[in-house]
Amino acid sequence: MTERPIYDPDYLMDDMAFDRDATASARAGTALPEGTPPASREQIVEALKTVYDPEIPVDIYELGLIYEFDQSPSGSVRIVMTLTTPGCPVAGEMPGMVAETVAALDGVGEVEVELTWDPPWTPEKMTEDARMMLGMF
């Protein structure tokens, strides 16, 4: 059973008082038992491709919302991501959705997801496939 994500209580998504330095974060999963082989990078990418921004019919990986992810030999994963806009209605929920999805993979232990706004997302960050799906060629 996966732990419920822990959200950063200091993060507020208020368009009138938006702070570009503010971050939201989430955690999910538990440490893997010693000797458990970690999931592959490809498996993590495939899991990320199952998470969608609810307003855009393209997954978050193809949209270019995943800025980086690091995986330790023990199976822990750290992800830095953004959203298409600071006013996104799922900004407070998306890090938890990503953390839970990745933590559900066999071979993944603790997952930390950090939401950042620097650098801001632009359509140029999308893959060619995403642009084609959205008719932006």
Q: pLDDT, tens digit, for every residue of 9-32?
A: 233 233 323 344 445 899 999 999
Q: pLDDT, tens digit, for every residue of 92-133?
A: 889 999 999 999 999 999 999 999 999 999 999 999 999 998
Strand order in the sheet with 66-71: 24-28, 111-115, 77-81, 66-71
Give the whole-number percent of the chain exceeding pLDDT 90: 67
Structure tokens at 124: 């140029």
Global pTM? 0.80
Question: Coil, strand or helix: which one is 99?
Answer: helix
E strand spans, 3-65: 24-28
When pLDDT is averaged across residues 34-46 and rounded to a whole number, the result is 95
Report the DSSP pairing between strands 66-71 and 77-81.
Answer: antiparallel
Whole-angstrom Cα distance, residue 93 to residue 4? Answer: 12
Whole-angstrom Cα distance, residue 17 to residue 28? Answer: 29
- Which pLDDT belongs to residue 16? 27
- Which pLDDT belongs to residue 102? 98
Whole-angstrom Cα distance, residue 113 to residue 103? Answer: 11
- Which pLDDT belongs to residue 108? 97
